[in-house]
Amino acid sequence: MLGPPGSGKGTQGARLAARHGVPHVSSGELLRAHVQDGTEIGRAAGDAMSRGELIADDLVSAMVLDAVIGPEARGFVLDGFPRTVSQAMAAYEVARHYGVTLHAVVLLEIPYELLLDRLLARGEASGRVDDTVEVIRRRIDVYVEHTLPLVEYYRGRDIVVRVDATGTIDDVTALINSALDDVAHQVDPRLGDC
Ligand code: AP5
Give the Å distance between the CA of 9 and the centre of ligand 1: 6
**CB 43, CB 102: distance < 8 Å:** no
At 164-179, the pLDDT tens digits run: 999 999 999 999 999 9
Whether the per-residue pLDDT at 62 is higher than 80: the answer is: yes
Q: Which residues line ligand 1 (CB under 6 A)?
A: 3, 5-11, 27-28, 31, 48-49, 52-55, 60, 80-81, 83, 87, 118-119, 122, 130, 139, 168-169, 172
User: Which pLDDT score, from 0 to 100, does residue 192 have?
Assistant: 43
Q: Other CB atoms closer than 10 Å to residue 40's CB: what's the count?
A: 9
Overall average pLDDT of the 31-52 stretch: 97
At 73-84, the pLDDT tens digits run: 678 999 999 999
Whether the per-residue pLDDT at 193 is higher than 70: the answer is: no
